[in-house]
Structures are given as structure tokens and as C-alpha cells.
A = this chain, B = another copy of it.
Amino acid sequence: MMDYPLLLRTFLLRAAKYFPKKELVSIYPQEIFRYTYADYFKRTCQLANALASLGIQRGDRVASIALNSQRHMELYFGVPCMGATLHTVNFRLPMHHLVYVLNHAEDKVLFIEEDLLFFVELVKDQLKTVKHFVILSQSGQMPQTTLSPVYLYDEWISRFPDTYDFPENLSEWDPALLCYTSATTGEPKGVVYSHRGLILHSYAAGVTLRGSEEDCMLHVVPMFHANAWGIPFLGVGLGCKQIFPGREVLNMERLCRIIADEKVTFTCGVPTIWLMLYQYLEGGGFHDFSSLKSIASGGSACPRFLMEGLNEKYGFPIIQAYGMTETTPLALAAIPKSYMLDLPKEQIYDIKTSIGLLAPGLEMKIVNESGAEIAMDGKEWGEILLRGPWIAKEYDRDPERSRPVFADGWLHTGDVGTIDAEGYVRLVDRTKDLVKSGGEWISSVDLENLIMAHPKVLEAAVIGIPHPKWQERPLGCIVLKPGETATKEDLQAFLRDKVKADWWIPDHFVFLDQIPKTSVGKFSKKDLREMVAAGKIIIPDN
């Protein structure tokens, strides 16, 4: 077979040539902007010429701080297809991390959505490598800015020819995109996506999620979040209509109007958005989901009530998917097998609330502490290890932190799960949050879910604390509902017949005003552990 490299160029050229009339649509507060793949291709060529005029070459990096819009989509192909790497920056990072990632990546050009300009103004003096700033603006007006040299994207690229000979002699191993993932400790870690990885991920996502040219894709997940889950690449590969909702992604009524008016068939996003949607729908909001075929949900577990509620009451068909920045991201998807479709609804949702089956093209093993694969019995626990052509092999320029995560040619996800006889995986905990008591593991997540079912408890986080005899014991960190009181004994009694074994029941509980949270709203167990270590949380001596 030909030594023909897997490049994004091939997808781009095919869409431009054979799907020139299909549309790309951006939603703005005051307007809906639409153009065709033919127009898109010309702008992408102009962008490539413009970048070349700045001296940007193969291997150089440029960054985007941008919303989901047609211009961001032009960067998605224009940058990698001309040989450079697009670093999509999470603008929700703390400022010092924002500075860190731009400097660590050594980005030479920074594309900034007009609305997000103030972030960059605040930190511009700390940027060591950025030589040029480009403002993405739908208004067509250069905003007030102290950045320099600065260009207005539309005006800037319009000066360049709308044809470009995208190089066919890149290597498929060349970097195409770059994303940083926030780390529990330390600075964010960079994951580089190759052309090869993105093409293969597109195919695998296509067959897993059953995509086709008929799909109209609405990009709810941010484009800085693991390549918008790779869907924009799949969309161009198949010649799909694609919709970029910008800031309007949080406007549930607008989102529902878009789905109905544009006949959206596919979207993906995090459960937080689906919860907002559910609340909007429960309030009687307009919706017409008749065009929808599937919705991928990921990032964190979609609660069963939410999945069932959206699907059964509103015909919003959620598929739970699993992945992470290191996996491009699709690794598993919870789609029942064809012979399961007649199962009782209860069992169907058991399957649909798992994290699913391995995508075709990857390898997975779930291993216990001695590295042996666990039984496929839905009971044994182990850490999920993945390998395959769209799994990262390292963190960018960070051998130290790469070593343990990518040991032995496998990605050690840090997620602990079970796998049943049919191959469906369920998450139990994060490895670092498991509590090891007397040589046996306790799932902090399981315990938290049990405790939070107590009517007086608002929030509960469980961490392991050192114990002279048992090595570790679980500590329950509890926030009670306003005005409620409860004792250790109340909670222990409540757990008695619910836990897997009595020794799971925490010996100690602390009652707090609040549980510290991470920047994305999850319990910060790292902070809890530090507070215990520093004596800021006092464990009762009984």
C-alpha cells in the first residue's frame, strides 16, 4: 500500500471539493452567521498564507483563546494543515496557569476572541514568546487594546490569496494540535495530538457514534477541551454541517431553538450543561428534539436520573462516553449491544450509565496492584490502562511527570473500575482517592454516594487518613443541610446495612461549613488532605 500519510489536509481538501455547499454556522447573540465549506476553505487558505507571511513554519506553535466559532474552526485546519501546531488554550485556567501554558508551549502567535481580550491584557507582559496578536471579532471593529503588534483577523487574512498549496509532505506523526490538562499538583501538562492520531480518532469516533454526512453537529463542548472531543475533525471528514454556538451555548432556550431550526442530529458536552438543559425543560421551555440521533456526554459521570429524565421525558438520547485529554479523547462509549435492546429499561440504563465498551482500535487492560488483569465479573477492581494510536505517549516536554503515567507503553488513567462479562466498564474511584484499609481497598466515591443519600447531608467527601494499624482509614467530611444536626453515630448507623462490609464505615466524621472545590467544581480531596495534615481539620479523638 502507498506510503500516504494520514494528514488533516486530506479531510480538508475532500470537504472543500466534494461538499462545497454544506454549511458551517456560528451563533452570535445578535445574528446567525453561515457560510459554506467552499467559503471556509478559501478563508483557511488565506489564514495559512497570513501565517506564512509572519514566518510561521512547520513545527511552530500558535495559540487560540477563543470560543466555539467559525474563526476558531478556520484555525483548527488552517494551522495544522500548513504545518504548524494549534495550541487551544483553556481560558478558564487561573491566570498564572494561562501564562504558564503560553510560555511553556512557546507560542509565537496568539489568536484572541474579542470577548476574551481582557484576559490577555492582564498578562501580556509575562508572555515570553508571543510575537503577534490577532483579534477574532465578529463586529469587524478593532477593539481598544494595548497589545502590539495586533491584527484584526478578518481584515488581516483578507489581504492574502485564497488559495494555498497545503503541504502533502508533512509526516503523519507531526503535531497538529496541543492541549493542556490541569494537574492535581503542579502546572498543567501538555498533550500533543498528531495528524495521525486525529485522523484515526475521527474514524473510530465515526464508527462508534455512527456518524455520517447526514449529521448536523452542534459543538457544545468547548473547542479548547480536547479538540472539542475530536468531532470537528470527524465533521469535516464526513462533510457534515457543523454549528458553533459561541457564548450562546449557555442560553438553553437559544440552544433548543438551534437544535430545532437547524435540525441538529448530534451534539456532545458535559453533564453540567445537560443539567441546565433539564432544568430549562422541566420549567416548560420550548424544545423540538425530533432531529436528534445521539448526544455524547462525558467529562464526568452523567447521573442516572438526568440521563433517564432527558431521554424518557424529552427524547434527548444521551450516550455516556469516556476519555480524557490524553485519549484525544474517545476511549469508551456506553452503547448497548444489539442483542440487549429487548432488556427491561432498568437494565438498559444500567448499561447506559456505565462508561461503556472499548472503541475499536484501542487496547485496554484493567489491572490489580500486581499488574494482573482483573476478572470480567463486574466486581473486581483495577486501574484502567489504555494504549492505541490516539493515546498520548507523554506529556509535552515533561519527562518527569510523563514517566509514571505512561509506564510500559500504556496510559495509566488513574481511574479504578470494574468490567463485566460483556465488557462494560464502571468507574469505582480515582486510584489516588481509594482508601487502603488493612490491605483492602475502599472506594471513596461509593462511600460518598451512600452518605449523601442521608436526608440531612448536603455534601460528603471521603478521604483516607493514616492509621497505625490499618495503614489508612476513611474519614467522612460532611456538610449538613442548613439547620440540620447529625452525629457520627447517626451516620454510622445509616451506613450499617448499606456498605459492602462493615469495615468500610468511617470511624470518624468531621462536620464542615463547606468542602473545598477545584476550579471545575469537583471536590478537592487534595485540599482536604492538606487541611488534615496541617491541622486545619481536627479529627475527633474517639
Q: Which of B207, B239, B339 contacts A238 (CB 8 A)?
A: B207
Contact with B along A1-24 (1 / 0, CB 8 A): 111101000110110011101100
Measured between beta carbons, the chain B residues less than 8 angstroms from A207 are 203, 206-207, 211-212, 237-238
A453 to B218, CA, bound (A): 51
Asked if B210 and A212 sit within 8 Å, CB to CB, the answer is yes
Nearest Cβ on chain B to A207's Cβ, whole angstroms: 4
Q: A393, B357: Cβ atoms under 8 Å?
A: no
Q: Which residues of B contact A19 (CB under 8 A)?
A: 337, 423
On chain B, the residues within 8 Å of A222 by CB distance are: none
> Which A residues between 462 and 494 are near B, CB-CB below 8 angstroms?
none
- Does the CB pair B409–A2 fall under 8 Å? yes
| Cα of A17 to Cα of B3 in the assembled complex, Å | 32
The stretch of A138-146, A179-187, A192-200, A247-255 in contact with B is A192-200
The answer to whether B193 touches A392, judged by C-beta atoms less than 8 angstroms apart, is: no
Q: A1-B392, A2-B391, A393-B1 are in contact. Are A10 and B362 (CB under 8 A)?
A: yes
Number of residues of chain A lying within 8 A (CB) of chain B? 55
Residues of B within 8 A of A389 (CB): 1-2, 4, 6
The answer to whether residues A387 and B4 also contact, given A203-B203, A214-B338, A362-B10 and a CB cut-off of 8 A, is: yes
Number of copies: 2
Shortest Cβ distance from residue A301 to the other chain B in the assembled complex, whole angstroms: 21
In whole angstroms, what is the CA distance A3 to B197 when docked?
Answer: 10
Q: Which residues in B have their C-beta under 8 angstroms from that of A214?
A: 338
Tell yes or no: A507 within 8 A of B by CB: no
Bitwise, A203-226 to B at CB < 8 A (1) or not (0) is 110110011111000000000000
**Complex: how many Å from CA A339 to CA B328?**
31
Residues of B with C-beta under 8 A to A392: 1-2
Q: Is A527 an interface residue (CB 8 A)?
A: no
User: Looking across the interface, which residue of chain B has its beta carbon closest to that of A216?
Assistant: B338
**B interface footprint on A385-399 (CB within 8 Å = 1, 0 otherwise):** 001111111000000
Q: Give 15 A-B pairs besides A1-B390, A213-B338, A237-B361 with Cβ atoms closer than 8 angstroms.
A: A1-B192, A1-B194, A1-B393, A2-B392, A10-B361, A10-B362, A10-B363, A11-B360, A18-B357, A200-B203, A203-B204, A207-B207, A207-B237, A238-B360, A239-B360
26 residue pairs A–B, Cβ–Cβ below 8 Å: A1-B193, A1-B390, A1-B392, A2-B387, A2-B389, A2-B393, A3-B173, A3-B393, A4-B363, A6-B200, A10-B388, A11-B360, A11-B361, A13-B363, A14-B360, A14-B362, A17-B423, A18-B358, A21-B422, A203-B203, A203-B206, A203-B207, A207-B211, A214-B338, A238-B360, A239-B360
